[in-house]
Amino acid sequence: METLSPERVGLSATVGLRIAHELQANRYCYVPGAALQQASGISDSLVRAFAGYWDRLAQDRHMQDGGAYRFRRYGQFELHHPEGPLHVLPHAPYEQPLYINHLNGGVPRHFEPLEPGFVGLPLFEGLLRSLGQVFDITQSRGGPWNIRVHPYRIYAEHDAPGKPTPEGLHRDGVDFIVTLFIRRQNVFGGRSEVTDTTGELMFAHTLDTPLDLLVADDAATLHQVTPIERVIANQIAYRDVLVIAYTRI
Protein backbone atom coordinates (compact mmCIF):
# COMPACT_ATOMS: atom_id res chain seq x y z
CA MET A 1 0.00 0.00 0.00
CA GLU A 2 1.18 3.51 -0.82
CA THR A 3 1.71 5.87 2.13
CA LEU A 4 0.97 9.59 1.90
CA SER A 5 3.11 12.49 3.08
CA PRO A 6 2.76 13.68 6.69
CA GLU A 7 2.28 17.31 5.53
CA ARG A 8 -1.33 18.28 6.11
CA VAL A 9 -3.88 20.95 7.06
CA GLY A 10 -6.94 19.58 8.86
CA LEU A 11 -9.64 20.42 11.35
CA SER A 12 -8.56 22.37 14.41
CA ALA A 13 -8.79 20.71 17.83
CA THR A 14 -11.65 23.06 18.73
CA VAL A 15 -13.69 22.08 15.67
CA GLY A 16 -12.86 18.41 16.12
CA LEU A 17 -14.00 18.32 19.75
CA ARG A 18 -17.19 20.16 18.84
CA ILE A 19 -18.00 17.52 16.22
CA ALA A 20 -17.23 14.63 18.58
CA HIS A 21 -19.35 16.04 21.40
CA GLU A 22 -22.30 16.82 19.13
CA LEU A 23 -22.14 13.35 17.58
CA GLN A 24 -22.29 11.83 21.04
CA ALA A 25 -25.21 14.03 22.06
CA ASN A 26 -27.24 14.38 18.84
CA ARG A 27 -25.85 11.79 16.38
CA TYR A 28 -25.10 14.53 13.85
CA CYS A 29 -23.16 17.79 13.66
CA TYR A 30 -23.19 20.76 11.30
CA VAL A 31 -20.27 23.21 11.22
CA PRO A 32 -20.59 26.33 9.01
CA GLY A 33 -17.79 26.57 6.49
CA ALA A 34 -16.66 30.07 7.43
CA ALA A 35 -16.26 29.08 11.08
CA LEU A 36 -14.45 25.86 10.16
CA GLN A 37 -12.09 27.65 7.78
CA GLN A 38 -11.22 30.39 10.25
CA ALA A 39 -10.76 28.09 13.26
CA SER A 40 -8.65 25.63 11.28
CA GLY A 41 -6.48 28.22 9.52
CA ILE A 42 -7.37 27.01 6.02
CA SER A 43 -6.47 29.62 3.42
CA ASP A 44 -8.70 30.65 0.52
CA SER A 45 -5.98 29.49 -1.89
CA LEU A 46 -6.10 25.97 -0.41
CA VAL A 47 -9.87 25.90 -0.81
CA ARG A 48 -9.63 27.06 -4.44
CA ALA A 49 -6.96 24.46 -5.23
CA PHE A 50 -9.14 21.77 -3.66
CA ALA A 51 -12.27 22.83 -5.54
CA GLY A 52 -10.50 22.86 -8.91
CA TYR A 53 -10.45 19.05 -9.00
CA TRP A 54 -14.26 18.90 -9.31
CA ASP A 55 -13.92 20.22 -12.87
CA ARG A 56 -12.34 16.89 -13.90
CA LEU A 57 -14.79 14.36 -12.52
CA ALA A 58 -16.08 11.59 -14.80
CA GLN A 59 -19.68 10.73 -15.59
CA ASP A 60 -21.30 8.06 -13.42
CA ARG A 61 -22.56 5.51 -15.97
CA HIS A 62 -24.14 3.18 -13.41
CA MET A 63 -27.31 5.17 -12.70
CA GLN A 64 -30.23 2.75 -12.84
CA ASP A 65 -32.69 5.63 -13.19
CA GLY A 66 -31.08 6.44 -16.55
CA GLY A 67 -29.82 9.80 -15.34
CA ALA A 68 -26.68 11.41 -16.77
CA TYR A 69 -26.53 14.14 -14.14
CA ARG A 70 -23.92 12.70 -11.73
CA PHE A 71 -20.14 12.98 -12.12
CA ARG A 72 -17.69 11.49 -9.63
CA ARG A 73 -14.43 9.72 -8.77
CA TYR A 74 -13.65 7.23 -6.03
CA GLY A 75 -10.83 6.07 -3.77
CA GLN A 76 -10.22 4.00 -0.62
CA PHE A 77 -7.80 4.43 2.27
CA GLU A 78 -6.87 2.86 5.60
CA LEU A 79 -5.94 4.78 8.72
CA HIS A 80 -4.81 2.90 11.83
CA HIS A 81 -3.88 5.93 13.93
CA PRO A 82 -4.27 9.69 13.33
CA GLU A 83 -0.49 10.15 13.52
CA GLY A 84 0.34 6.96 11.65
CA PRO A 85 0.55 6.42 7.89
CA LEU A 86 -2.49 6.98 5.72
CA HIS A 87 -2.51 4.10 3.27
CA VAL A 88 -3.89 4.39 -0.27
CA LEU A 89 -5.63 1.10 -1.09
CA PRO A 90 -5.45 -0.41 -4.60
CA HIS A 91 -8.18 0.95 -6.84
CA ALA A 92 -11.22 -1.35 -6.95
CA PRO A 93 -14.91 -1.23 -7.85
CA TYR A 94 -17.36 0.32 -5.40
CA GLU A 95 -20.05 -2.04 -4.13
CA GLN A 96 -23.12 -1.64 -1.91
CA PRO A 97 -25.73 -4.29 -1.13
CA LEU A 98 -29.25 -3.79 -2.50
CA TYR A 99 -30.72 -3.48 0.98
CA ILE A 100 -28.55 -0.36 1.48
CA ASN A 101 -28.86 1.12 -2.03
CA HIS A 102 -32.04 -0.10 -3.71
CA LEU A 103 -31.31 1.96 -6.85
CA ASN A 104 -27.68 1.23 -7.72
CA GLY A 105 -26.63 -1.49 -5.27
CA GLY A 106 -25.97 -5.16 -5.86
CA VAL A 107 -23.38 -4.76 -8.62
CA PRO A 108 -19.72 -3.66 -8.69
CA ARG A 109 -19.51 -0.11 -10.01
CA HIS A 110 -16.31 0.99 -11.70
CA PHE A 111 -15.39 4.66 -11.26
CA GLU A 112 -12.35 6.66 -12.26
CA PRO A 113 -9.77 6.89 -9.44
CA LEU A 114 -9.02 10.03 -7.49
CA GLU A 115 -6.35 12.13 -9.20
CA PRO A 116 -2.88 11.86 -7.57
CA GLY A 117 -2.70 15.64 -7.24
CA PHE A 118 -5.98 15.67 -5.33
CA VAL A 119 -4.88 12.92 -2.95
CA GLY A 120 -1.57 14.72 -2.41
CA LEU A 121 -3.15 18.01 -1.29
CA PRO A 122 -2.34 18.87 2.34
CA LEU A 123 -6.01 19.72 2.94
CA PHE A 124 -7.12 16.28 1.74
CA GLU A 125 -4.84 14.25 3.96
CA GLY A 126 -5.30 16.57 6.93
CA LEU A 127 -9.06 16.28 6.64
CA LEU A 128 -9.02 12.47 6.58
CA ARG A 129 -6.66 12.23 9.54
CA SER A 130 -8.45 14.78 11.71
CA LEU A 131 -11.85 13.23 11.04
CA GLY A 132 -10.43 9.84 12.03
CA GLN A 133 -9.33 11.38 15.32
CA VAL A 134 -12.82 12.90 15.80
CA PHE A 135 -14.44 9.49 15.38
CA ASP A 136 -11.94 7.85 17.73
CA ILE A 137 -12.99 10.38 20.38
CA THR A 138 -16.68 9.90 19.58
CA GLN A 139 -16.46 6.14 20.09
CA SER A 140 -13.82 6.29 22.88
CA ARG A 141 -11.58 3.86 21.02
CA GLY A 142 -8.91 3.91 18.34
CA GLY A 143 -9.00 2.81 14.71
CA PRO A 144 -8.35 1.26 12.30
CA TRP A 145 -10.65 2.87 9.75
CA ASN A 146 -11.57 2.10 6.18
CA ILE A 147 -12.19 5.45 4.46
CA ARG A 148 -14.09 5.71 1.18
CA VAL A 149 -13.88 9.04 -0.64
CA HIS A 150 -16.44 10.24 -3.19
CA PRO A 151 -16.19 13.69 -4.83
CA TYR A 152 -19.52 14.39 -6.58
CA ARG A 153 -20.81 16.94 -9.04
CA ILE A 154 -24.56 16.94 -9.70
CA TYR A 155 -25.78 18.84 -12.77
CA ALA A 156 -29.23 20.37 -13.14
CA GLU A 157 -30.29 20.23 -16.80
CA HIS A 158 -32.56 22.77 -18.49
CA ASP A 159 -35.38 20.22 -18.61
CA ALA A 160 -34.70 18.05 -15.56
CA PRO A 161 -33.52 18.51 -11.96
CA GLY A 162 -30.32 16.98 -10.63
CA LYS A 163 -30.65 14.42 -7.85
CA PRO A 164 -27.88 14.47 -5.21
CA THR A 165 -29.44 11.41 -3.52
CA PRO A 166 -31.50 9.60 -6.17
CA GLU A 167 -32.08 6.70 -3.77
CA GLY A 168 -34.00 9.00 -1.42
CA LEU A 169 -33.78 8.88 2.37
CA HIS A 170 -31.13 6.32 3.21
CA ARG A 171 -28.09 5.24 5.17
CA ASP A 172 -24.82 4.04 3.66
CA GLY A 173 -24.06 1.05 5.84
CA VAL A 174 -20.96 2.63 7.42
CA ASP A 175 -20.11 4.08 10.85
CA PHE A 176 -19.92 7.80 9.99
CA ILE A 177 -20.87 9.72 6.87
CA VAL A 178 -19.35 13.12 6.10
CA THR A 179 -20.50 15.74 3.58
CA LEU A 180 -18.13 18.63 2.85
CA PHE A 181 -19.71 21.29 0.66
CA ILE A 182 -17.45 22.66 -2.10
CA ARG A 183 -19.53 24.99 -4.27
CA ARG A 184 -22.78 25.47 -6.19
CA GLN A 185 -23.48 27.41 -9.36
CA ASN A 186 -26.80 28.65 -10.74
CA VAL A 187 -28.96 26.26 -8.69
CA PHE A 188 -31.69 26.38 -6.09
CA GLY A 189 -32.76 23.48 -3.90
CA GLY A 190 -30.29 20.93 -2.57
CA ARG A 191 -31.43 21.02 1.05
CA SER A 192 -29.57 18.49 3.24
CA GLU A 193 -31.80 16.60 5.66
CA VAL A 194 -30.93 14.28 8.53
CA THR A 195 -33.57 12.18 10.29
CA ASP A 196 -33.62 9.58 13.01
CA THR A 197 -34.10 5.95 11.99
CA THR A 198 -37.91 6.40 11.98
CA GLY A 199 -37.72 9.31 9.53
CA GLU A 200 -38.32 12.04 12.10
CA LEU A 201 -36.55 15.20 10.87
CA MET A 202 -33.58 16.26 13.02
CA PHE A 203 -31.75 18.72 10.71
CA ALA A 204 -32.53 20.58 7.49
CA HIS A 205 -30.26 23.17 5.89
CA THR A 206 -29.03 24.10 2.43
CA LEU A 207 -25.25 23.91 2.36
CA ASP A 208 -24.08 26.95 0.43
CA THR A 209 -20.71 28.12 1.80
CA PRO A 210 -17.40 26.40 0.92
CA LEU A 211 -16.36 23.92 3.66
CA ASP A 212 -19.83 23.70 5.21
CA LEU A 213 -19.51 20.37 7.00
CA LEU A 214 -22.25 17.90 7.92
CA VAL A 215 -21.32 14.74 9.83
CA ALA A 216 -23.71 11.98 10.92
CA ASP A 217 -23.64 8.70 12.81
CA ASP A 218 -24.76 6.49 9.94
CA ALA A 219 -26.14 3.71 12.14
CA ALA A 220 -28.38 6.09 14.08
CA THR A 221 -29.60 8.41 11.30
CA LEU A 222 -30.87 8.59 7.73
CA HIS A 223 -30.07 11.35 5.25
CA GLN A 224 -31.03 12.79 1.89
CA VAL A 225 -30.62 15.92 -0.24
CA THR A 226 -33.50 17.46 -2.17
CA PRO A 227 -33.16 17.87 -5.97
CA ILE A 228 -31.48 20.92 -7.51
CA GLU A 229 -32.85 23.02 -10.37
CA ARG A 230 -31.46 25.76 -12.58
CA VAL A 231 -31.98 29.38 -11.65
CA ILE A 232 -31.13 30.73 -15.13
CA ALA A 233 -32.37 28.25 -17.73
CA ASN A 234 -29.64 28.63 -20.37
CA GLN A 235 -26.61 28.60 -18.05
CA ILE A 236 -24.68 25.67 -16.60
CA ALA A 237 -25.84 24.61 -13.14
CA TYR A 238 -24.27 22.20 -10.64
CA ARG A 239 -23.59 21.35 -6.98
CA ASP A 240 -20.19 20.00 -5.78
CA VAL A 241 -19.61 18.08 -2.54
CA LEU A 242 -17.11 15.65 -1.07
CA VAL A 243 -18.66 12.63 0.67
CA ILE A 244 -16.41 10.59 2.97
CA ALA A 245 -17.50 7.33 4.62
CA TYR A 246 -15.70 5.91 7.68
CA THR A 247 -16.08 2.25 8.64
CA ARG A 248 -14.23 0.67 11.57
CA ILE A 249 -12.32 -2.43 10.51
pLDDT in tens, 179-202: 999 999 999 999 999 999 999 999
- Give the span between the Cα atoms of 216 and 24, in whole angstroms: 10
Whether pTM exceeds 0.75: yes
Exposure string for 142-154, b = 16+ CB within 10 A, e = fewer: ebebbbbbbbbbb
Q: What residues contact residue 15 under an 8 Å CB cut-off, 6+ apart?
A: 31, 35, 36, 39, 40
- Give the span between the Cα atoms of 147 and 247, in whole angstroms: 7
Give the per-residue pLDDT at 4. 40
Give the per-residue pLDDT at 224. 97
Which of these, 227, 222, 198, 173, lies nearest to 28 by C-alpha position?
222
pLDDT, tens digit (0-9, with 9 covering 90-100), for 36-86: 999 999 999 999 999 999 999 999 998 877 788 999 999 999 999 888 889
The CATH number, out of the four listed (2.60.120.1440, 3.40.50.300, 3.40.50.720, 2.60.120.620), of the domain defined by the range 2-248: 2.60.120.620
The gap from C-alpha 210 to its chain's centroid, in whole angstroms, comes to 13
Average pLDDT over residues 150-176: 95
Mean pLDDT of the chain: 92
Give the per-residue pLDDT at 103. 63
> What are the structural domain ranges in the chain?
2-248
